[in-house]
């Protein structure tokens, strides 16, 4: 595996800037790989590693750079828990380790570099130097990864009976004899809604007619 500084350079290019979160992400991923005995995550070991990340912040991009895990490869799994944490699993051995950034690391950065007024710069300097034990908590864990969640799984494809859109990876529900995508089955959970003319049309269709005539 490349050096910390080389990986930080690559992370900066991929992310667009270098920040404290990038340093944490790079070091977190390096530690995870080291604990699992994975020395070439983007080379000879590229099919061994699956990573779960728990936050959509700068560290996530850095972890992807170090591990080579990508959403498009189904090797990067996102859990929106708002935690600066990630779990690294080795498919070859079945071992997995969850690593979380310690809140106390911020105070350690202040203690190391009190003369640096900019918090991000202060943390960037400290996070390069602190021992792993001062930056992270570690826990060996078990992660269940079914066949349909594995990288490379293709599976069948069905169409939603309501919207007609294609659905991959069995991400559908059966309701009253119909196959529905999640958006149609759980409309209250949709992250989008129709705009403009289309919204007006759908509202008119769904509005009950007057019964007083």
Instruction: Give me the CATH number covering residue 60.
Output: 3.30.1330.130
Same domain, yes or no: 117 and 164: no
Rounded distance between C-alpha atoms, residue 159 and residue 138, angstroms: 43
**Helix, strand or coil, per DSSP, at residue 206:** helix
Task: Determine contact, residues 67/29, Cβ cutoff 8 Å.
Answer: yes
Buried b (16+ CB within 10 A) or exposed e, 51-66: bbbbbebbbbbbbbbb
212 domain-assigned: no
H/E element, 179 = strand 178-181
Task: Determine contact, residues 80/115, Cβ cutoff 8 Å.
Answer: no
What pLDDT is stored for residue 212 in this prediction?
A: 37
Pick the last residue of a domain from 103, 120, 146.
146
Q: How many domains does the chain have?
A: 2
Q: What angle do CA 116, 118, 120 make, to 5 degrees?
A: 110
Question: For the residues 99-103, what does the mean pLDDT come to?
Answer: 96
Same domain, yes or no: 106 and 185: no
Q: Is the pLDDT of residue 73 over 50?
A: yes
* CB-facing half-sphere around the CA of 192: CA atoms within 13 A: 7
Same domain, yes or no: 15 and 45: yes
Q: Is the pLDDT of residue 213 over 50?
A: no
- Round the average pLDDT of the chain to a whole number and report it: 90
Q: What is the pLDDT of residues 24-43, one digit of tens each?
A: 999 999 999 999 999 999 99
Pick the last residue of a domain from 98, 120, 146.
146
Question: For the residues 4-25, what does the mean pLDDT come to?
Answer: 95
Same domain, yes or no: 96 and 27: yes
Pick the last residue of a domain from 146, 166, 188.
146
Same domain, yes or no: 39 and 121: yes
213 domain-assigned: no
211 domain-assigned: no
Q: Is the pLDDT of residue 192 over 80?
A: yes
Which pTM does this prediction carry? 0.82
**Strand ranges (DSSP E) for 16-170?**
49-53, 76-78, 85-90, 96-101, 136-141, 157-159, 166-168
Which residues constitute the domain of residue 188?
Answer: 157-206
The pLDDT confidence band at residue 204, using thresholds 50, 70 and 90, is low
For 78, the token pair is 């996102």
The pLDDT confidence band at residue 197, using thresholds 50, 70 and 90, is low
The pLDDT confidence band at residue 201, using thresholds 50, 70 and 90, is low
């Amino acid at each position: 595996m490349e050096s910390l500084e080389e990986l930080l350079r690559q992370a900066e290019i991929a992310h667009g800037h270098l920040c404290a979160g990038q340093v944490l992400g790079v070091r977190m991923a390096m530690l995870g790989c080291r604990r699992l005995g994975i020395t070439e995550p983007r080379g000879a070991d590229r099919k061994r590693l699956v990573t779960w990340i728990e936050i959509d912040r700068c560290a996530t991009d850095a972890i992807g750079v170090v591990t080579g895990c990508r959403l498009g490869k189904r090797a990067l799994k996102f859990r929106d828990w708002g935690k600066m944490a990630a779990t690294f699993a080795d498919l070859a051995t079945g071992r997995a380790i969850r690593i979380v950034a310690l809140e106390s690391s911020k105070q350690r950065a202040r203690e190391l570099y009190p003369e640096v007024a900019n918090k991000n710069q202060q943390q960037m300097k400290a996070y390069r130097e602190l021992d792993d034990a001062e930056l992270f908590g570690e826990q060996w864990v078990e992660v269940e990864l079914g066949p349909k969640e594995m990288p490379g799984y293709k599976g069948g494809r069905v169409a939603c009976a309501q919207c007609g859109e294609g659905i991959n990876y069995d991400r559908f529900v059966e309701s009253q004899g119909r196959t529905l995508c999640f958006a149609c089955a759980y409309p209250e959970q949709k992250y989008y809604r129709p705009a403009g003319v289309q919204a007006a049309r759908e509202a008119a269709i769904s509005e009950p007619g007057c019964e007083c005539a």
